[in-house]
């Protein structure tokens, strides 16, 4: 699931990370760079750029990190505290310099690429999404999502979509070889051509299964190619040599060209090379970078000490529910809240190691609350890509096994969970499958069907606006279940099963 997988598209060449210390920075915002290029990034890759002198390439990450493959490393913004994420990059014609652009229009220039002005600090109607550079090295353009063009140095302003209505946002830009024209591309594949850039077709009239995310000119044919997030490549006036559909683990983000070939790059730093463009290496970004997961360990250690708080009535989404309970405990006195918190800490560590941003609804096992509606609100406020509540059941002593509660559509005066029902179901299936495989515990023999229980009566699911499930990891009233739930090694496997299920769900959703 990590980056760097190439499946025999072209001859593979050993990764070459060219590292050069120092850099001459010509920007008021650029700082002499010290970051070395590396094959690993803790941030998503956002752009790729061909070295026009060698056919090598650079990848750049949202934090400004630069990764060089068969191209000269001249510095990066990777060590800076950026005001806004880097979104684009363009090189000079000799390959001995390049510029990065951030979404606020800030420019970072390295090597022989000069700083000629930026939009950093100036108000923008829409964020900058891409850049292109003059072949003479003395100018560049920035393009914003609304189609606004900002030209610097000797880069000519030849027209823009700024101020005109767009069906879809602009996502990319490419210039012609002489720098006297450029194309803009929107996420629906619509093409806007200016100057000597010829319109040779678009996907604007097609129904795409996946949005367009980038454009690259073809220097030999004068045409251009578009890439969609699923790795699909659309060629206009330029030869087709293959696509990355079905190969990606994360969404495609960029396309660059060389010798009538091209490379598709995905956010995890994988590089897929076609035609004459060589593969020279890739970047490894952990699979969950950019993903937010909220973990809700059921109950809390202090709940029993504050019945007035815990028994207060909350709106669970059209019905009255108590704030929370103290939870159950097993025959040996092992409390549910301790179990859920222990599994949560293990799960958080595993997800964090995969690059995820993890949010917890409580940070210790000695407090009171929060109420179940607040727990849902925490996951919502974090804009979680997935959320999970962890429990141990207090079921009939003769019943055993684990079960995953999934939401059904519930609309109330304060909530509407309909959009999360389908993805939550998918999340529930993945969690069920991996929990089963990793723990060896069977699915519940007293609740639900095949380990899945649709529930309309849980505030945590009714009030969620993000994909969410609740797992009863086992029945704490059953001697067989508690014998494993009390075992730290089993709880680690339980956390691994939850992490694997959540990861499978998130990665599957990544390639649109």
Taking the C-alpha atoms of residue 137 and residue 48, their distance in angstroms, rounded to an integer, is: 18
Cα–Cα distance, 241 to 45 (Å, whole number): 23
**Closest by CA position to 236, among listed 202, 194, 211, 259:** 202
| Residues 6+ positions from 156 with CB-CB distance below 8 Å | 139, 179, 180, 195
Q: With CA atoms as reference, report the closest residue to 266 among 39, 67, 47, 472.
A: 47
CB of 342 to Zn ion, least distance (A): 14
Give the residue with the Cβ less far from Zn ion, 188 or 296.
296
Q: Side by side, which strands form the sheet with 97-102?
A: 86-91, 97-102, 107-111
Indicate the residue among 218 and 393 with the shorter CB distance to Zn ion: 393
User: Whole-number minimum distance, CB 484 to Zn ion, in Å?
Assistant: 17
Q: Closer CB to Zn ion, residue 263 or residue 391?
A: 391
Stretch that binds Zn ion, among 17-25, 109-117, 129-137, 297-305 (CB under 5 A): 297-305
Shortest reach from residue 387's CB to Zn ion, in Å:
16
Nearest distance from C-beta of residue 402 to Zn ion, angstroms: 13
Q: Choosing from 74, 257, 321, 472, which is the catalytic residue?
A: 472
Shortest distance (Å) from residue 488 CB to Zn ion: 20
Sites for Zn ion among residues 380-409 (CB under 5 A): 391
The count of residues in the chain is 512
Q: Do residues 162 and 181 touch, judged by C-beta distance below 8 A? A: no
Tell me if 29 contacts Zn ion by CB under 5 A: no
**Residue 394: CB minimum distance to Zn ion, A:** 7
- Rounded to whole angstroms, the Cα distance separating 376 from 115 reads 47
Helix, strand, coil shares of the chain, percent, nearest 5, are 20, 30, 50
How is 177-217 classified by DSSP, letter by letter?
TTSSEEEEEETT--EEEEETPPP---STTS--SS-EEEEEE
CA 91 to chain centre: 26
Residue of closest CB approach to Zn ion: 391
Phi, psi of 462 (to 5 degrees): -65, -35
- Residue with smaller CB distance to Zn ion, 19 or 331: 331
Q: Applying CB under 5 A, does 375 fall inside the site for Zn ion?
A: no
Q: Which is nearer to Zn ion, 74 or 405 (CB)?
A: 405
**Strand spans (E) along 336-418:** 357-360, 386-393, 403-407, 411-412, 415-416
Residue 19 CA from chain centroid, whole number: 27
Strand residues in 259-407 grouped as ranges (E): 261-266, 271-274, 292-297, 313-315, 320-322, 357-360, 386-393, 403-407
Nearer to Zn ion, 250 or 391 (CB): 391
Is 185:226 a contact under the CB 8 Å cutoff? yes
Q: 216 or 470, CB closer to Zn ion?
A: 470
Compute the least distance from the CB of residue 471 to Zn ion, in Å: 10
Rounded CA separation 251/414 (Å): 34
Return the closest-CA partner of residue 204 out of 171, 230, 168: 168
Burial (CB < 10 A; 0-12, 13-18, 19+), residue 93, is middle
Find the shortest distance in angstroms from Cβ 446 to Zn ion: 16
Give CA angle at 302 (296, 305), nearest 5°: 140
Residue closer to Zn ion (CB basis): 111 or 395: 395
Stretches 146-154, 295-303, 370-378, 422-430: which one binds Zn ion (CB under 5 A)? 295-303
Residue 174's nearest CA partner among 230, 136, 207, 222 is 222
472 is annotated as an active-site residue: yes
- C-beta of 38 vs 374, nearer to Zn ion: 374
| Nearest-approach distance from CB 469 to Zn ion, in angstroms | 14
Chain centroid to Cα 63, Å, comes to 14
The site map against Zn ion for 317-346 (x = CB under 5 A) is ----------x-------------------
Least Cβ distance, residue 91 to Zn ion (angstroms): 56
Q: Looking at 108-116, 248-256, 263-271, 292-300, which segment touches Zn ion (CB under 5 A)? A: 292-300
Stretch that binds Zn ion, among 162-170, 197-205, 293-301, 438-446 (CB under 5 A): 293-301
User: 90 to 109, contacts with Zn ion by CB under 5 A?
Assistant: none
Q: What six digits make up the tokens of 136?
A: 């003479």
Size of the site for Zn ion (CB under 5 A): 3
298 contributes a contact to Zn ion by CB under 5 A: yes
> HSE of 350 in the Cβ direction (CA atoms, 13 Å)?
20
**299 or 493: CB nearest Zn ion:** 299
Residues annotated as part of the active site: 472
Which residues are at the interface with Zn ion (CB under 5 A)?
298, 327, 391
């Amino acid at each position: 699931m990590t980056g760097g997988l190439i499946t025999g598209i072209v001859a593979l060449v050993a990764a070459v990370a060219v590292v050069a210390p120092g850099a001459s920075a010509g920007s008021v915002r650029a700082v002499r760079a010290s970051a070395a290029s590396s094959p690993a990034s803790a941030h998503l890759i956002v752009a790729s750029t061909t070295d026009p002198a060698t056919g090598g390439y650079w990848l750049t990450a949202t934090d400004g990190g630069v990764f060089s493959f068969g191209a000269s490393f001249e510095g990066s913004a990777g060590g800076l505290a950026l005001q806004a994420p880097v979104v684009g990059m363009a090189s000079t014609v000799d390959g001995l310099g390049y510029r990065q652009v951030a979404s606020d229009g800030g420019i970072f220039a390295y090597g022989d690429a000069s700083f000629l002005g930026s939009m950093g600090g100036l108000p923008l109607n829409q964020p900058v999404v891409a850049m292109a550079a003059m072949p003479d090295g003395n100018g560049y353009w920035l393009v914003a999502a609304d189609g606004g063009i900002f030209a610097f140095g000797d880069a000519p302003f030849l027209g823009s979509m700024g101020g005109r209505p767009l069906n879809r946002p602009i996502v990319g830009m490419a210039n012609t070889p002489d720098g006297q024209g450029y194309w803009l591309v929107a996420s629906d594949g619509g093409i806007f051509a200016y100057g000597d850039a010829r319109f040779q077709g678009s996907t604007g009239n097609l129904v795409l299964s996946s949005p367009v995310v980038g454009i690259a000119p073809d220097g030999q044919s004068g045409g251009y190619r578009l890439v969609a997030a699923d790795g699909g490549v659309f060629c206009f006036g330029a030869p087709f040599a293959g696509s990355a559909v079905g190969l990606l683990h994360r969404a495609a983000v960029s396309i660059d060209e060389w010798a009538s070939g091209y490379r598709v790059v995905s956010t995890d730093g994988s590089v897929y090379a076609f035609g004459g463009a060589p593969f020279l290496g890739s970047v490894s970004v952990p699979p969950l970078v950019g993903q937010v997961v909220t973990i809700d360990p059921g109950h809390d250690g202090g709940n029993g000490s504050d019945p007035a708080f815990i028994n207060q009535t909350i709106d669970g989404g059209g019905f009255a529910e108590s704030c929370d309970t103290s939870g159950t405990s097993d025959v040996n006195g092992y409390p549910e809240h301790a179990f859920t918190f222990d599994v949560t800490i293990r799960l958080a560590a595993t997800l964090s190691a995969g690059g995820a941003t993890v949010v917890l609804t409580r940070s210790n096992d000695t407090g009171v609350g929060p109420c179940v509606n607040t727990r849902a609100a925490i996951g919502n406020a974090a804009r979680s890509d997935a959320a999970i509540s962890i429990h141990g059941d207090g079921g009939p002593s003769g019943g055993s096994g684990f079960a995953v509660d999934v939401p059904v559509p519930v609309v109330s005066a304060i909530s509407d969970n309909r959009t999360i029902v389908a993805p939550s179901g998918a999340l529930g299936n993945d969690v069920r499958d991996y929990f089963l495989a990793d723990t060896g515990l069977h699915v519940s023999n007293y609740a639900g069907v095949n380990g899945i229980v649709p529930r309309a009566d849980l505030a945590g699911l009714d009030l969620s606006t993000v994909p969410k499930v609740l797992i009863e990891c086992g029945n704490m009233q059953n001697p067989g279940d508690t014998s494993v739930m009390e075992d730290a090694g089993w709880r680690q496997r339980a956390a691994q099963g939850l992490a694997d299920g959540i990861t499978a769900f998130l990665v599957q959703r990544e390639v649109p």
